[in-house]
Amino acid sequence: MDEQHSETIVVVDGRAAAHRYWGLMAALGVVAIIFGIVVLANIWASVHLVSVFAGLFLAFAGLMQFVNAAGAERKTGRIIAGVLFLVAGLALIFIPEQSVKTVAVVVGLSFILWGAIMAIAAFVDRSQGWGVAAGFGALLAVVGIIVVAWPGPTIAILMVLVGLDAILFGISMLVQGLALRRA
């Protein structure tokens, strides 16, 4: 039996696509620059937003621990971590008016617990890559200890880094967008 094969070849004009989207990249760059300036100008006012984002991150991390527990042989550690992260995340989302230090301490304690649980679980399981997972867990716990020990400066430094990063990202996107326009 003779089979016939057909092939479809798609040719994309990279220059046309790049020229079409230069404005989007440049606009994204301008928005990022403005965001960075606003964050740097209002570091403490931006903490409320950071609290909500940290809460969303922790809640998502908690849900992911539940998902990971579903396929794992040893579920208890992941379920406990999931509950802790979910509770901490929801507390940050629904009670963001708490002080900067409280937010930092909650995030720091979550990092300590998450790091410790990751390190212990990796050490106990000793599956492929367990050393990297244990090292990452230990590092995360150390970061958590630093955040708990110096909550105010940690949040201020984080906000400055977020602002600077947004400005640098924005400049990069703006330059790339303008370069695409010329292409």
Angle among Cα 17, 36, 161 to the nearest 5 degrees reads: 110
d(Cα 28, Cα 178) in Å, to the nearest integer? 12
d(Cα 7, Cα 22) in Å, to the nearest integer? 32
d(Cα 151, Cα 105) in Å, to the nearest integer? 6
Domain boundaries, the chain: 14-182
Q: Would you state the pLDDT for residue 57?
A: 84
165-169: long-range contacts (C-beta < 8 A, 24 or more apart)? 165/36, 166/32, 166/33, 166/35, 166/36, 166/39, 167/32, 167/33, 167/36, 167/37, 167/40, 168/36, 169/29, 169/32, 169/36
Angle among Cα 121, 52, 140 to the nearest 5 degrees reads: 25
pLDDT tens digit at each of 183 positions of the chain:
556 666 666 555 556 666 677 888 889 889 989 988 988 888 777 777 777 777 888 888 888 888 877 777 777 878 888 898 899 888 888 877 665 677 778 888 988 998 999 889 888 888 777 888 889 989 989 989 998 998 878 777 877 888 898 899 889 889 888 888 886
Q: Would you state the pLDDT for residue 139?
A: 92
Q: Would you state the pLDDT for residue 65?
A: 84
- What type of residue sits at position 39? V
